[in-house]
Each structure stands twice: as C-alpha cells, then as structure tokens.
Structure 1
Amino acid sequence: MSEQHEFAQRMSDLIGAIYDCVLMPEKWGGVIDAIRAEFNFHNAILSVTAHEGIHLLGALVGVDSYWSARMLNYGSAVTDAWGGIEKLTEYPLEEPVVQSRAMPGYDLEGNRYFVEWVRPQGITDAVNISLEHNTTTLSNFTLGRHGSAGPITDGEIEGLRMLAPHIRRAVAISQVLELKTIEISTFASTLDTFNSAIVLVDEDAICVHTNAVATAMLNAKDPLTLNDGRLALPRQAATAALKEAVKSAATGPLTSPPRRSGIPATRRDGTPMILHVMPLHRDILQNAVAAIFVSPSVASPQMPADALALLYGLTPAETRVFEMIVAGQTQRGIAVKLGLAASTIKTHLLRVFEKTGCKRQTDLVRLAASLSIPL
C-alpha cells in the first residue's frame, strides 16, 4: 500500500470518527487527540462558546492538569494573541490559519497568555480554524506546535484543510442536537426527544424515518414537503442542493469536502431555517444513508454571498474571497487582511472562477449584482 493511499485511509477514518462525535459527543476528546497526533501538534483545543461566555462544547488534549487549570485565567488575552476578536472573525471559516504567518512581527511579549501559558510549555506556533462566528456563538479549533517539532508545513495545512469542513459540520449538528448522546440500539425512539426536526433518508432522498418534530413539519408542509416520497423544500434550488448533499453523503468519498453543509429554507411565517446533512456510516435503520437535521437559523441568509455558496457549492473561504473581491479589494490586500499566503488567495479565486463559470473579477461583480434579490 502506497504512502499516499495510507494517508487517504487515515483521513477517511478520522472523518468517520468526527461524525461519530455527533451521536456520541464524549468521543470529541479522543478524536481531536488523533488529529493532533496525525499532524504532529503538541496540543489541541476545540471550543464552542456563546457570546455571553457560556461554554457549549469543548475538548482539550495534550495539556496536563496544571496548565489546563490555569487556562481560564487569561480571558480575552487568548483572542488577543490572534489579533483580537474582530481579527478572528475576519478569518474565513474552515481555513487553517498559521499564527506566525497571519501576524508577522506581532509583539506577543506583551500578551499574558503567550508569556505565562503558551511559551512555558514550549509552544512556538499554532494553527486556528474558525468553525463559526455568528450572532450567538464563536467556535474554533486550535492546535499548538511544540518547538521540537519544527515549523508547520504546507502539507499539514492541506491535511487540516481537508478535515476542517467535516469538523465544522459535526459541531453544527452537535449544537442542533443539544449535545445529547444517542444510543444506537434505541436510535429511532431517542430522536423523538429532540426539539429539532430529524429526517433519515436513503440515497434518493426518500424518507426512511422522521422524528416527531419532522413529522409535524411534513404534515404542515412547512417547510418540509414530500414529492413522491422524496424530501423537498419550497425553493427549487434548495431542493436540488439537498438532493446533491444526500447523494454526496451516500456515494462520495469521506475525504471530499461536504457539499451544502448549511442549506437554507424559510417557514411560512418567515422564520429562517438551516438543514444540515450528515452521512450515516453505521447500520442504524434499513436503507438510511444520511440524517438531515433541521433547526432555526441564527440569522436570515445574507445575499448575494449565501446565494452564491448555495448555487455554486462554494466553501466558506471561497465565499469570503468572493465577497472581498466584489467589494473592490485586491488579491494582495485580501491576503494581508486575512493573514493568508497570496498563493492561497489565488487558489481560492481560481476555484471561484471554475465553479461559477466566471473568467474575470468583473464577471464576479456582475454575478453578485444578479443575485442581489432573494432566490
């Protein structure tokens, strides 16, 4: 077996384990520890926190009790080490950002968290992956590099970039599920205890099972409906995206980025909803290949960026670059503002061109204008 094939298999195993955490949140610690070890980092922190400071989900590995007990003493100094909360929220979602590259010349000597907590443990660099930053929560996955491991490599960044969208989706669904643990032996009955709608479907998006909330939505045809047994949404584009996501969950390789990780829908009273599709890789119910979790969105979809992401399958990082290009910023300016390499911005832009069929930046501006009204 070639080294490349072995790496792909390890990535597939990690992604499967990430999705297992949705149903069994107590596994998060072991999974992020496996990711830490795979890419030669010293510690790893998964943090999902409400803006009110309420801790919703988290795991910390590679840090002994002495240092973990002291971590809570530093408050805003932790985010200040990354340039502050405003800088953190500017980073594209799912994009691994290397601290030393994003903040060259930044004086960390004045930061208590770095001086008293990071450096004494021998940590010399870090990677942060923003998973969510919205009106209610701030979610990040951060890995610290020990000085003895050498500089963070581009290959390691590519590997983390492969895992990032799956981590983000799993964390989002975990929040939808209110972090309850599901026993596989009583899966169907346990689904009825959740406040969110949950639908299990086969690879053709035909319903296999619905929990009580989803059944009520289907009976009211708001916003879920059935078309010849297949799950559908009011907007044709959203239905197409849902079918694509289910097909990808059923047949696509786990190492591919998840498509349509947040599919928007709207109830008749105007309430914005989000659908998350999670592949099922265990024998839960016959023919079920994906679970669809439906919950209220934290905010109404923003146009045209959300529409572009929906219609063309752009990643959050590609969407962010698109937004900034349309706003008139240069590739070099975007790289500086986001703390990313110019080559990374160019790669994202080329993928935007490829997915949208545009050839020039002016074409993107016209496309944005055409999507300035809701679908």
Structure 2
Amino acid sequence: MYIEPAFERLITSIYQGPLEEEPWQQFLTELSEQMQAISVTLVLNPPSETGRGALRVVGGRTSEGLDNYQERLFAMDPFLSLKPGEVKTLQELITDDDWENSELYQLCMKPTGLYDTLGVDIHVPDEMDAGLRVARGKEAPTFEQADRDLMYAIVPHLERSLRLHVRMNKIESERALYAGAVESLSLATILLDEKGSILSMNRMAENLIAREPEVRVEGGCLMLGDQATTKKLQHLIDNILAQRGSGEASVVEAMRVHRDGDFADLGVIARPVPTGEWSEGKSVPTVAIFISDPEYGAEAPVNIIIQLFGFTPTEAQLSLLLADGLSLDEASEALGMSRNTARTHLRSIFSKTGVSRQTLLVRLILKSVAQLAD
C-alpha cells in the first residue's frame, strides 16, 4: 500500500509529539504547511471559568489575542457546540455578519489576519478533551472536502498520541513526587543500567559527589572509597544483576564506606529497580544505589513540626535540635536559654506528644512525615 510522503510525515510527527520538548511543535508546523494555514492550534485543556487551559499554537496569534481568548472570550467560541469527532468550519457554525461583528473576531482573529477555521474536538475517554483548529485568512481559499478528509484521517492517530502523552505525564508526575520524597530524606540516589553504568542521579547525589572525595565517578561508573571498597560495591551490583538475569527473587545489598577523621561512615544500599514484563532497552534503570550521609541529615521545617504536634515555635526548635543529636544542654545553649527553661519546654513537648523519654521523642520526630516537607 502506497502512503503519500506528506501524510507519512504528518503521522510520524503526531507520534513524535509527546517526546518533544515543546509537544507536537513539529506536527503543528507540518500541518500548517500542508493545509496552507496561517495558524494551527492544539487545545490540550480548554479554557474555562476555573483556568486558562493549555493551548499549543503555531503562527498567527498575538500574545494579547491569546490572553483575551483564554481569560474570557473562550465563552464566545462557536466551536463550543462542536461534537467530538465532528469536523466543521466556522462558517458552518456562525454567519459571516455575526462572526465579523463579534468581539472574538475583532480582538483575537482580525489583528493577525485570521478569518475562517476548520476544527475538530477529540475526546480521549477517561483522560482528556482536546481540540485541533486550523485557521486561514479571509482571502485564502475556503476549506474543501480534501481538507476535511485529512482532518478525519489524523484524528485517530492524534487521539492515541494524546493518550500516550497523558500516561507519560502521570508517570513523570509520580516520578517527580517520589524523587522529591527521597531528596527530603537526604538520600543520594544513583540509577544504573544493565551494565552497571550510571544513567542518572538526583541533586543530593550530585552534591555528595561534589563535596565527598570518597564518592566519585570514573568512566561512567560509581567509585566508593579505596579500591577494596569499590570492588565490594561492584560485587553487590553484580549480584543484583545476576539474580535479575536468572529470574531469582530480588535482594537488597548493604555496605558502609569508611571516612577519615571524625566523620561518620556513609551508608550504602543497592537494590534492583522493579521492572515490568516488557521493560527492555539500554536506558532502562536496573539497579538503584542509595547513599546516606549522617553528616547531612534531613531537617524538618519548624512550621510543619508546629502543625503536626501543636508545638510552640520554641518547642519546635528545641525538638528539632534534640532530633539532630544535640543534648539538652547543647540545645538550650543554641537557643540562648537556661537549662531549666529548656527542661520546662521539654516537659510541655512530652505532654503534647505522649512520650516520656528524650530517645522516644527523637524517634517520633525522625519517623514523622515532617521530613517529607523539607
């Protein structure tokens, strides 16, 4: 079956769209050229009373015109009556006189030479409602059946691409949430591929490598401490990769990295990254390395501690200092108060939390969700 090169380029750009830095930029540009349009708009989220929505626009729109449309004139759009999957022109929805006298035309379309529009709305079940608009000038040829046929032909492909876009956004949102939670716990995280080479790392890992000579990257691989320590790390990674390849149950490996001086050892956990049945490819994370530096522990915000436990600001500051390893004498000195005053605040803290020992208080603070708010 022969496929026109122009149509093939269009379909290719549709499926490439979710992967672009500016989604569907190439598709909108390609469609604009093929349909001899001044402007092409992909409506990803229609404007409403509760928000400006999300529009991807190529050509023929002024920022002022877009602002007017997204803030209030969207309510006058004749395409609001369009049924999903139905391709129509503006001229089929409103008379020329009514259109030319409308505020929408005068403020949004006329300043950039736009006049008629061919549009279709796309309903992606349980996901989103989108739309595609192709606009021409007043002196341009009217839209013909061939233009409609092209729109009808690309709608199923665009719907699938939009569905992929939504799914990828959900995955990215969840990834960002979990990554933020890990960073709040001050865990350096490094992801490795199936060969043990570094794929990516979070901000905590970058900072750790920048300040800590015992953690470094050489040839794309993670190095810890001396040669013997790095060899032990590699052994842990090899074990995980071997068990993954053989289908054995997942294991978690742990080790410590000794540091000179009075610095506490680094804690290291290596574990397999859960994968789906069809998770293949050279850029798929296979092993996750978590590194904890006791010298850089997570610190919960004072205002969150106040909300969680009903502490006063002073009580919250005192509890955080104790959780950070300070003695009561050291904490009272840091806060500029006497030991007796600190003990009074501590008794109030015990009363509000229901614990009776300082060690239990420290455990309560460190295990609370407050760490995730940092």
Q: TM-score, normalised by structure 2?
A: 0.42
By relative contact order (CA 8 Å, sep 6+), the higher-ranking structure is: 1
Q: TM-score, normalised by structure 1?
A: 0.42
Structure 1 or 2, whichever has the larger Rg, is: 2
